[in-house]
Copies of this chain bind each other. A is one copy, B any other.
Amino acid sequence: MTEAPNVNRATCPSRIVLEHVTSRWGLLVLAALRERSFRFSELRREIGGVSEKMLAQTLQTLERDGFLLRDAKPVIPPRVDYSLTVMGREAADQVWALAHWVERQLPAVVEARESYDGARVS
């Protein structure tokens, strides 16, 4: 058994980072960028349902944490490409594996829910 990370503290720094990569949009950004680099509005269309504000905010957070690179080309009209860093790639693979695993368990989860809800009605 490896030594326990102390994520038990609400203020623990790794907790914050963990929330960045598993957050609603953070996860989707990382997942999308696994395939290739994206422009801002490409990313927005690819993910779907994300507001400009949240996408910008998410991208900034992940860039600041060192998970992705922002390449702003000084042209008119502006063109900004986002891609994963090496660390970002690892993070993306991790959360992707988790997402994938969850999706595989979905039938079991649905069944568990029906069982749970059924028991409460009877």
Query: How long is the Cα–Cα vector from A114 to B55 in the complex, in angstroms?
Result: 22
Query: How many A residues, CB 8 Å from partner?
Result: 50
Query: How long is the Cα–Cα vector from A95 to B9 in the complex, in angstroms?
Result: 16
Contacts of A22 in B (CB 8 A): 18, 22, 98
- Give chain B nearest CB distance to A35 CB in angstroms: 9
Interface assignment of A113: CB less than 8 Å from any CB of chain B: yes
Candidate in A24, A31, A46, A99 with the most chain B CB atoms within 10 angstroms: A99
Contact of A17 among B32, B100, B109 (CB under 8 A): B109
Q: A7-B28, A14-B103 are in contact. Are A108 and B87 (CB under 8 A)?
A: yes
- Give chain B nearest CB distance to A6 CB in angstroms: 8
Within 8 A of B (CB), among A34-77: 46-49, 63-66
Query: How long is the Cα–Cα vector from A96 to B102 in the complex, in angstroms?
Result: 14
Interface assignment of A80: CB less than 8 Å from any CB of chain B: no
Contact B10–A49 (Cβ < 8 Å): yes
Can you list 10 residue pairs at the A/B interface with Cβ under 8 Å? A7-B28, A8-B47, A10-B48, A18-B102, A22-B98, A65-B109, A66-B108, A66-B109, A66-B116, A90-B101
